[in-house]
Amino acid sequence: MAAEDLQKPIESSARKLSIHVVTWNVASAAPPPDLNDLLQQNNQNLNLDIYIIGLQEMNCGIMSLLSDTAFEDPWSSFFMDVLSPLSFIKVSCVRMQGLLLLVFAKLQHLPFIQILSTKSTPTGLFGYWGNKGGVNICLKLYGYYVSIINCHLPPHLANNDQRLEHFDRILEMQNFEGQDIPNILDHDLILWFGDMNFRIEDFGLHFVRESIKSRRYSDLWEKDQLVITKRRDLLLREFQEGPLLFPPTYKFDRNSDNYDTSEKKRKPAWTDRILWRLKRQPQAGPHPSKLLDPHFCLSLRSYVSHMMYSISDHKPVTGTFDLELKSLMSAPLITLIPEGLWTMEDDMLISYSLTPDFLSSPWDWIGLYKVGLRHINDYVSYVWVRDNHVSYSDGLNQVYINTRDVPETEDQFLLCYYSNSLHSVVGISKAFQIRPHSFFGADSLGKSQPQF
């Protein structure tokens, strides 16, 4: 991460964010060595701001789950290793058995992203088992409510009604009772994706395969269950989708580009989908509502499958979006200022100011990080702001942070203020260097380590 990236102004009210959404049923496979195409890292025309990654059917055997509880799962670690050198930080994640949802954002956006809620909704075994269902991350992005849902719906051609029941159940469970969060249908944006398992009706296997071979995908659209269902389901109709201009993504023989050659010879289908819904805006006159908000507009740049990956019987699908919005936040809630020339010889003085509407918590903390952090727990040192408060004047607070764990290095550092009540980073300093020096250990901090 270049230091100049941290100096870019982020307070401009009008902005355009580029969001890359990934959905992939990985069928218990480990990450492949190269995911550049999936993450669009070879596309020089993209300047991405946010990655949203949803996986289904991760390895959820008992030993794997126990290991992933104690350590990062292999997929999360892989994505962090790849994205952190590009200035992306893991903002939030939620897992339910084989379902995993990850959100990464460029560092400069972190003070404008508040994680409001993470939820899991199991729908397998009458709602008691998480092999099917959905996981959700609800956040505020520059002041706008955004809900992100990764789902895995029931399989098989005959179970379309069951898929719709699960779709409705996942949506109904995204309530926020006792929290100052609007109903999910009043959120500015819902991104809903995953292995939805919708199939192609009526057409025989030979016709479907010949249509795919000759790239006549439009011949198959009219019998796609999701397309059919959207015509009669009023709520589902409000969700938009890009054109299916790529081959059906299921079912393939593993380690090949051949559709199912087993005895079952399953009919190919577009099981892996990315949908979105914008909040309807009130409008006077004969039409009661409209979809477009001039201050919050989402447009689809690309909707493609990535056929080069063969570790699973599904091919991954990605959607890249441009989100144009007028920011409802004029500045970060916290402004952090490292004071003076920092060395590893003395405790370091940090000054910070709060906006009038920010309520601090006894569990708020400031972390010291090397530039290139993977997630918020990557601090090299930290300080509890209430316990270590030393002065206050003219709206400026000051705390000292100990230098015991600061490595002797020429790397650059930065400070992040973490709000426990908002579950989010609310302030980031500019990058700076710490002059190497020999130093001695400091007293231990009184509280347990902060957790994200």
- Summarize pLDDT for 256-271 with one digit per residue, the tens: 999 999 999 999 999 9
- Tens digit of each residue's pLDDT (9 = 90 or more) over 82-113: 999 999 999 999 999 999 999 999 999 999 99
Alpha helices in 173-303 (DSSP H): 205-213, 218-221, 225-232, 234-237
| The pLDDT value given to residue 444 | 40
Torsion of CA 329, 138, 40, 13, to 10 degrees: -10
Place of tokens 């199939």: 199
Q: How far apart are CA 96 and CA 134, in angstroms?
A: 8
Tally of CB atoms within 10 A around 52: 25
Domains annotated on the chain, with CATH = 3-326 (3.60.10.10), 334-433 (2.60.40.2840)
Tell which residue, 175, 130, 139, 155, has the closest CA to residue 52.
139
Q: How far apart are CA 135 and CA 49, in angstroms?
A: 22
Name the strand (E) or helix (H) holding 56: strand 50-56
**370 touches 396 (CB < 8 A):** no
Q: Which amino acid is at 77?
A: S
- Tens digit of each residue's pLDDT (9 = 90 or more) over 402-448: 876 677 777 899 999 999 999 999 999 999 888 775 444 444 444 55
pLDDT at 70 over 60: no
pLDDT at 76 over 50: yes
Alpha helices in 41-104 (DSSP H): 62-70, 74-83
| The pLDDT value given to residue 428 | 96
Token output for 137: 């991350």
| The pLDDT value given to residue 64 | 53
| The pLDDT value given to residue 348 | 83
**365 touches 447 (CB < 8 A):** no
Tell which residue, 318, 315, 317, has the closest CA to residue 253.
315
- Tens digit of each residue's pLDDT (9 = 90 or more) over 217-247: 999 999 999 999 999 999 999 999 999 999 9
Q: How far apart are CA 30 and CA 74, in angstroms?
A: 7
